[in-house]
Structure 1
Amino acid sequence: MRQLLFGFDGRIGRVAFWTVQVPVLALFWLYGRHVDPLLARWFPYSVFEGLTVALALAAPLIWVQCAIVVKRCHDRGKSGFWALLLFIPVLGWLWLLVDCGLLRPPRELVGA
């Protein structure tokens, strides 16, 4: 489990991708819905401190998200650098969601 969530080498299939992706997306949603408003209340005048705490709390989720996308890119025959699309809001996320979550690996990688 540790290698699945935190390691960047290897491959994972679509089922494993969605098994991790759905809870991670739910946690991101809960974080944005509940944790960010609390941090805004606790650090109303210090944007730097608030962002630092927010990033520290979100870092494990970001790491897991990057790790599973890199592994899924490997399974699709692409470089793990495609995971950098995660840092492009909306368009990058949608691209990776479709590419990693819906498309099969190329035939030459499957051995068909």
Structure 2
Amino acid sequence: MKPAKILFSTEGRIRRRTYWLYSIALTVAYLAIYFGVAVATGTLDTLASDTTSPILDVTEAILSIAMIWPSLCIQIKRWHDRDKSWVWIFINLIPIIGWIWSFVELGCLDGTKGQNKYGNSPKRANHEAVAATFD
């Protein structure tokens, strides 16, 4: 699956590895842009103090809004891999228990073996792609 489809489409399934890689990549991109703006605008020192910087506040708001859809898409695809509907995304609204449940289901447990109602197994697709290179 192409990166654009992983980040901007809710269709299909992704493996745990893909989920973790894209989650980490989104976090690193967020932090890199945020701290890059802080360094470029000379407001890095405000991060360690009680004062706030309007530039960093706006940057944080824009980045947070921009990350919502890609984050939702990768989580929905993981729920699909677990053979569960997108509505399971709302479990994140339950403090602590919901976050732990989501972490375990999406980040730790294996997906449904074989095909489910959301598509073919991403593991099988990877194995077939590798096998096809040796034909």
TM-score, reference length from structure 2: 0.57
Once the two structures are TM-superposed, the CA of residue 57 in structure 1 deviates from its matched residue by 2.3
Identity %: 28
CA distance in 1, matches of 2:94, 2:59: 22
- Number of aligned positions between the proteins: 100
Residue of structure 2 aligned with 1:41, choices 40, 46, 52: 52
Distance 1:96 1:75, change over 3 A: same
TM-score, reference length from structure 1: 0.67
| Higher radius of gyration, 1 or 2 | 2
Name the stretch that deviates more: 56-65 or 71-80: 56-65
Where in structure 2 are the equivalents of 1:12-27 lying within 5 Å?
Answer: 12-27=14-29
In the alignment, is residue 95 of structure 1 matched against residue 101 of structure 2? yes
CA offsets per residue over residues 64-87 of structure 1, 9 Å max, x none?
A: 111100001011100011112233
What is the CA RMSD across the aligned residues, in angstroms? Answer: 3.1
Structure 2: gaps (5+ residues): 39-46, 122-135
In the alignment, is residue 73 of structure 1 matched against residue 79 of structure 2? yes
Structure 1: gaps (5+ residues): 44-49
